[in-house]
Chain A
Amino acid sequence: MANIKELVKQKELFTGGHRACTGCGAVIVARQVLMVAGPNTVVAGATGCLEVVSTIFPYTAWNIPFIHSAFENAAATISGVEALYKSWVRQGKYNKKINFIAFGGDGGTYDIGLQSLSGAVERGHNILYVCYNNEAYMNTGVQRSGATPKGADTTTAPVGKVRKGKEQSRKNLTEIMIAHDMPYVAQSVAGNWRDLTSKVEKALSIEGPKFINVLQPCMLGWSYKPEITCQMGRLAVDACVWPLYEFVNGRYKITYKPKQKKPVSEWFSPQGRFRHLLKPENKQMLDEIQAQVDNFWENLLKKEAPAQNQ
Chain B
Amino acid sequence: MAKTNIVARTGNEAMAEAMRQINPDVVAAYPITPATEIVQIFAGYVADGLVDTEFVPVESEHSAMSACIGASAAGGRIMTGTSSQGLALMAEMLYIASGLRLPIVMADVNRALSSPINIHCDHSDTMMVKDAGWIQIFSENAQEAYDNMIQAVRIAEEALLPVIVTTDGFIISHCMERIEIIDDKDVKNFVGEKKLGNYLLNVDKPITIGAMDLPDYYFEHKRQHIEAMIESKDIILSVAKEFSGLFGRSYGLFEVYRLEDADCAIVLMGSTVGTAKAVADNLREKGIKAGVLGLRVFRPFPKEEIAQALKNIKAIAVMDRSDSMNAQEGPVCLEVKASLFDDSASPNNVLNYIYGLGGREVRIEDIESVYKGLGEVIKGKSKNKITYLGVRE
Q: Which residues of A contact B (CB under 8 A)?
A: 39-42, 44, 51-52, 55-58, 60, 62-70, 72-73, 76-88, 90-91, 94, 96, 98, 115-116, 118-120, 122-123
Do A84 and B69 touch across chains, with their CB atoms under 8 A apart? Answer: no
Do A56 and B214 touch across chains, with their CB atoms under 8 A apart? Answer: yes
Indicate if B66 sits at the interface (CB-CB under 8 A): yes
Bound-state CA distance A87–B60 (Å) is: 21
Instruction: Name the contact of B70 in the complex, choosing from A41, A44, A119 (C-beta under 8 A).
Output: A44
Bound-state CA distance A115–B60 (Å) is: 9
Looking at the assembled complex, report how far the CB atom of A174 sits from the nearest CB atom of chain B, in whole angstroms: 21
Which of chain B's residues has its CB closest to A79's CB? B67
Instruction: Name the contact of A42 in the complex, choosing from B58, B68, B200 (C-beta under 8 A).
Output: B200
User: What residues of A have a CB within 8 angstroms of the CB of B285 in the complex?
Assistant: none
Contact-residue bracket for chain B: 35 or more
User: What residues of A have a CB within 8 angstroms of the CB of B92 in the complex?
Assistant: 70
Q: Which of B16-48 contact A (CB under 8 A)?
A: 25-26, 28
Do B67 and A90 touch across chains, with their CB atoms under 8 A apart? Answer: no
Do A57 and B201 touch across chains, with their CB atoms under 8 A apart? Answer: no
The 9 closest A-B pairs by CB, nearest first: A80-B70, A119-B59, A80-B67, A76-B66, A76-B63, A68-B210, A73-B66, A80-B71, A60-B208
Which of chain B's residues has its CB closest to A118's CB? B59
Bound-state CA distance A52–B70 (Å) is: 19
**13 pairs, CB–CB < 8 Å, chain A vs chain B:** A39-B206, A40-B203, A55-B210, A65-B203, A66-B206, A68-B210, A69-B100, A70-B93, A80-B66, A84-B26, A84-B75, A98-B201, A123-B57
Bound-state CA distance A119–B58 (Å) is: 7
Which of chain B's residues has its CB closest to A93's CB? B25
Instruction: Name the contact of A79 in the complex, choosing from B70, B201, B211 (C-beta under 8 A).
Output: B70
- Interchain pairs with CB closer than 8 A, number: 162
Bound-state CA distance A63–B96 (Å) is: 23
Bound-state CA distance A122–B59 (Å) is: 9
Do A57 and B58 touch across chains, with their CB atoms under 8 A apart? Answer: no
A87 in contact with B25 given A77-B66, A79-B67, A80-B71 (CB within 8 Å): yes
Bound-state CA distance A212–B372 (Å) is: 68
Looking at the assembled complex, report how far the CB atom of A87 sits from the nearest CB atom of chain B, in whole angstroms: 4
Looking at the assembled complex, report how far the CB atom of B207 sits from the nearest CB atom of chain A, in whole angstroms: 6
Bound-state CA distance A76–B53 (Å) is: 17
Do A86 and B54 touch across chains, with their CB atoms under 8 A apart? Answer: yes
User: What residues of A have a CB within 8 angstroms of the CB of B71 in the complex?
Assistant: 80-81, 83-84
Indicate if B212 sits at the interface (CB-CB under 8 A): yes
Bound-state CA distance A97–B209 (Å) is: 21
Instruction: Name the contact of A116 in the complex, choosing from B59, B76, B206 (C-beta under 8 A).
Output: B59
Do A91 and B52 touch across chains, with their CB atoms under 8 A apart? Answer: yes
Q: Besides A52-B212, A62-B206, A86-B54, 10 other CB < 8 A contacts? A: A51-B212, A65-B209, A69-B66, A69-B210, A70-B96, A77-B67, A78-B70, A85-B74, A87-B52, A119-B58
Which of chain A's residues has its CB closest to B207's CB? A65
Bound-state CA distance A85–B73 (Å) is: 12
User: What residues of A have a CB within 8 angstroms of the CB of B76 in the complex?
Assistant: 84, 87-88
Bound-state CA distance A120–B96 (Å) is: 20
Which of chain A's residues has its CB closest to B23's CB? A91
Do B217 and A80 touch across chains, with their CB atoms under 8 A apart? Answer: no
Q: Which of B189-215 contact A (CB under 8 A)?
A: 200-203, 206-214
User: What residues of B have a CB within 8 angstroms of the CB of A39 in the complex?
Assistant: 203, 206
User: What residues of B have a CB within 8 angstroms of the CB of A86 in the complex?
Assistant: 54
Do A65 and B62 touch across chains, with their CB atoms under 8 A apart? Answer: no
Do A56 and B54 touch across chains, with their CB atoms under 8 A apart? Answer: no
Do A57 and B73 touch across chains, with their CB atoms under 8 A apart? Answer: no
Do B56 and A79 touch across chains, with their CB atoms under 8 A apart? Answer: yes
Which of chain A's residues has its CB closest to B24's CB? A87
Do A83 and B56 touch across chains, with their CB atoms under 8 A apart? Answer: yes
- Of the listed residues A60, A76, A120, the one surrounded by the most CB atoms of chain B closer than 10 A to its CB is A76
Bound-state CA distance A40–B25 (Å) is: 21
Which of chain B's residues has its CB closest to A78's CB? B70
Looking at the assembled complex, report how far the CB atom of B93 sits from the nearest CB atom of chain A, in whole angstroms: 6
